[in-house]
Structures are given as C-alpha cells and as structure tokens.
Amino acid sequence: KRIVILLSGRGSNMIAVAERCAAEGWPAEVVAVISNKPGAGGLVWAQARGIATAVVAHRDHPSRDAFDAALAAEIDRHQPDLVVLAGFMRILGEAFVQRYAGRLLNIHPSLLPSFGGLHTHERALEAGCKVAGATVHFVTPALDHGPIVLQAVVPVHQGDDAERLAARVLRAEHVIYPRAVRWFVQDRLLLEHEQVRQLDGEP
C-alpha cells in the first residue's frame, strides 16, 4: 500500500508511522510527505530518509478550493492508497475530503467527540477532566467527527499544565497512530454504517 503523509510541523507522528512501517515490514511504504508549511521540520526528516517531499503552501493559493485542488494534484502524483494527516493544520474542504473518502486518516489530541478543534489540552484541564487522550479517525467533512478507529487514554495528573499533558498524550499518539495505520494497510478496517469495525480483534 502506498501512504502519503500530510503535515505542518515537526512530524513526530509521521516519524512514528514511517519507522514502524519500515521496522515491522508492513505491506506498505511511505511514498511522500507533503507540507503546507515550507519550513516544517518533518520535511527535513523525510528528505534525509529519501522519502519524496513537497510543499503546497496555502499562501500561494487564492482560495481554499484552489489550495485543496493543488494539494490533491500533488497527492495524486503519488497514487496513494491511504492519506495520513499527521499534524496537518489546515481544514480541508468537502470536495477534498470526498475525493479521499475511506482512505483519509487523522489523529486528534483529545478523546473525541470531546474537544474537537484547537487547544484541546487547555480545554480538558479547564473542564477538570481526570483522563485525556488521543483519537485516530477517518476524516469526513464535519471537522474532527469522522468514524473512530482507535483511542488511547492517559491520566490527567494534579498540577498538570497543557504542556505536560500534551507530552503525555503525544506519547500515546505515537503508539496508536502506527497501529491504526497498520490495520488499514493490512486491510483489517471495515467502515460500516459510519462506524469502524476492526476485523480480527488482534492487536
């Protein structure tokens, strides 16, 4: 399976997925990493490993539709079976999302459906949550609302600030995102009635 990863920043989730993919011999390859930000740290890591990289900068495009179309054109050059959003900080329009329906995954740093959107850790702390976590989900046009593939729960400790909590959640992200992507490339995810079934129950 051909995987294209989209990111905007340091790319620690991209690294987690790409390293597991190579180390565990998945029937898959990360064929390209695409950023909307020219300076994204994740691009450097990918380049150093010989993975094709590209930048599609939203500032170079007059509208969201134009940006989405340019991004889709770049993605499609790589003929992906799966598009993985890994800290990709642009909202994608409906046409884009429909184009990749059923093969577009995202990770969000909260236990969805709680705390979609930004500042998840601050909001979880403000709400007095005793647990937090991360969610891997298929992307649908409704932001942060697609069918859930996998979630991880971490404790909120007394005295946590957003940064400490974010670091704890991020470690959990690095566990569940590679696992969810592996299930996908192993054809073990079934989308049914807008929910995800994992086919054989194995880890």
> Which residues sit in the known binding site?
11-13, 64, 89-92, 106
* Residue 173 binds ligand GRF (CB under 6 A): yes
Smallest separation (angstroms) from ligand GRF to the CB of 193: 26
Instruction: Give, in order, the Cα–Cα distances in Å from 83 to each of 86, 122, 142, 145.
Output: 10, 29, 17, 17
Query: For residues 7 and 196, which CB has a smaller minimum distance to ligand GRF in the complex?
Result: 7
Of 6, 12, 96, 97, which one interacts with ligand GRF (CB under 6 A)? 12
Q: How far is CA 23 from CA 19, 178, 182, 187, in A?
A: 6, 11, 12, 19
The CB-of-97 to ligand GRF minimum distance in angstroms stands at 16
Do strands 2-7 and 104-108 pair parallel, antiparallel, or not at all (unpaired)? unpaired
**Among the listed residues 3, 4, 11, 156, the single contact to ligand GRF using CB under 6 A:** 11
Give least dist CB 9 to ligand GRF, A.
Answer: 4
Q: Do residues 135 and 13 lie in contact, with contact meaning Cβ atoms separated by under 8 Å?
A: no
Report the alpha-carbon distance of residue 135 to residue 133 in Å, rounded. 7
Q: 56-95: which residues touch ligand GRF (CB under 6 A)?
A: 86-87
Residue whose CB is nearest to ligand GRF in the complex, by number = 87
Touching ligand GRF, residues 94-153 (CB under 6 A): 107-109
Q: How many residues bind ligand GRF, per CB under 6 A?
A: 13
Amino acid letter for position 30? V
Task: Write out the H or E segment, with its range, that includes residue 48.
Answer: helix 41-48
Here the tokens at position 21 are 């993919």
Instruction: Mark whether 108 is an active-site residue.
Output: yes
Known catalytic residues are 108
